[in-house]
């Protein structure tokens, strides 16, 4: 074997050291370049849950380049089983999403990026969005499928039981708690109408107004005719085991058995970017859309819970599909 001279050894060692350390030294630079490079897509979908994935499926099948940006926080994440979505009835929510994701991933023009969209603006080619991690992406069209965020009231036990036995919708969970000791938490017209609705699933029902009743004399009479008591006592806490309600305790020391409690907490939009970029909102706090899921800003679409109080997986999927189809149609009209 040829012996290496001292000079040769020094040169060779230097080359090897550079080969090892150069990629490491370049890495932050590459990351920075990657971060400042704006990648262009046909469509960016913010929100990769039911509605966003449905939109992506339609667009992937239409050969569109699509980026889904999602931060993994769907509103129903605490509910053990999702119901009333045909073919998926009774499956855990994350199982439905995982199956939808697998199907969407089959379409090679669709990419996923785990991040939060924090701002957006118009640019020459359409729109640009910026993410929490500092990335920028650009697209001809935007779809917001970002859902809403429920605001948990300060009643101890409420948040822990949300989606398990504190429920928003009888069509989603009413069958499972039918005939059980049930309450509606609400007041005024809302409390009255929700109690009338829930009386379809159980006759063991009480309306909890959590303070003085604001129901009209006629509403009060009607509820009493249906044996639905109106309880005005202020709630201290909800007693539960792993989210399954046992008792409702009142500030005056009274306690009542309970297994299910329906209510509609206040909400905010999960993502403020649509409003930030000028989308008109409804009085109730939803993004205003037409029947084709178009917002007030041409090229910007919204679908799913962020646009409607008809809050079900099936509806979110239907709206996402519509958004996908109409976005593609608009792109064809612009390009053809
Ligand atoms: C507790 C509970 C139980 C429910 N049970 C049922 C049921 O049994 N059956 C039924 O049909 N319906 C049920 N629903 C309703 C159903 O879950 C919703 O209608 C559905 O999840 C709406 O889908 P979506 O895609 O519009 O929004 P979501 O599912 O809420 O998804 C929105 C997605 O957008 C992401 N996102 C938001 N902002 C950003 C951002 N800035 N950047 C990146 N990503 C972002 C979120 O992380 C999330 O992944 C339930 C709802 C709740 C609250």
Give CA separation, 292 vs 140, 210, 295, 308, 321, in Å: 17, 40, 9, 13, 10
In a domain, 200, yes or no: yes
Q: What is the pLDDT of residue 105?
A: 98
Domain holding 285, by residue range, is: 39-150+266-335
In a domain, 12, yes or no: no
Question: Where is the domain boundary, 202, 231, 262?
Answer: 262
Atom of ligand 1 nearest to the CA of 73: 47
For residue 238, give the H/E element and its range. Answer: strand 235-241
Please work out whether the CB of residue 50 comes within 6 Å of at least one atom of ligand 1. yes
Atom of ligand 1 nearest to the CA of 116: 42
| Res. 23 pLDDT band, cuts 50 70 90 | very low
Q: What are the residues facing 144 on neighbouring strands?
A: 46, 302
CATH code, domain carrying 204 = 3.50.50.60
Question: Where is the domain boundary, 235, 262, 289?
Answer: 262
Please work out whether the CB of residue 85 comes within 6 Å of at least one atom of ligand 1. yes
Q: pLDDT tens across 135-151, in order?
A: 999 999 999 999 999 99
The pLDDT of 195-220, averaged and rounded, is: 98
**Ligand 1 center–CA 149 separation, angstroms:** 9
**Ligand 1 center–CA 273 separation, angstroms:** 17
CA 85, CA 51: separation in Å to the nearest integer? 13
Total domain count, the chain: 2
**Ligand 1 center–CA 49 separation, angstroms:** 6
């Amino acid at each position: 074997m040829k012996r290496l001279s001292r000079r040769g050894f020094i040169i060779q060692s230097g080359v090897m050291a550079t080969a090892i350390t150069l990629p490491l030294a370049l890495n932050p630079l590459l990351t920075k370049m990657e971060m400042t490079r704006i990648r262009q897509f046909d469509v960016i979908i913010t929100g990769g849950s039911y509605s966003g994935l449905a939109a992506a499926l339609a667009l992937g099948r239409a050969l569109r380049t699509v980026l889904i940006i999602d931060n993994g926080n769907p509103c129903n994440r605490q509910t053990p089983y999702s119901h009333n979505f045909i073919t998926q009835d009774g499956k855990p929510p994350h199982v439905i999403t995982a199956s939808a994701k697998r199907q969407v991933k089959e379409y090679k023009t669709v990419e996923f990026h785990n991040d939060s969209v924090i701002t957006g603006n118009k640019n020459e080619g359409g729109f640009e969005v910026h993410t929490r991690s500092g990335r920028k992406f650009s697209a001809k069209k935007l779809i917001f499928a970002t859902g809403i965020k429920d605001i948990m009231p300060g009643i101890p036990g409420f948040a822990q039981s949300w989606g398990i036995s504190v429920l928003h919708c009888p069509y989603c969970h009413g069958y499972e708690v039918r005939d059980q000791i049930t309450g509606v938490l609400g007041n005024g017209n809302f409390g009255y109408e929700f109690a009338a609705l829930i009386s379809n699933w159980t006759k063991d029902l009480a309306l909890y107004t959590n303070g003085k009743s604001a129901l009209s004399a006629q509403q009060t009479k009607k509820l009493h005719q249906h044996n639905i008591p109106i309880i005005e006592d202020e709630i201290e806490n909800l007693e539960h085991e792993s989210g399954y309600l046992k008792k409702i305790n009142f500030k005056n020391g009274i306690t009542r058995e309970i297994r299910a409690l329906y209510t509609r907490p206040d909400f905010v939009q999960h993502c403020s970017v649509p409003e930030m970029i000028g989308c008109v909102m409804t009085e109730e706090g939803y993004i205003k859309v037409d029947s084709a899921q178009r917002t007030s800003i041409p090229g910007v679409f919204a679908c799913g819970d962020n646009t409607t109080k008809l809050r079900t997986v099936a509806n979110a999927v239907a709206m996402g599909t519509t958004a996908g189809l109409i976005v593609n149609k608009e792109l064809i009209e612009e390009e053809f």
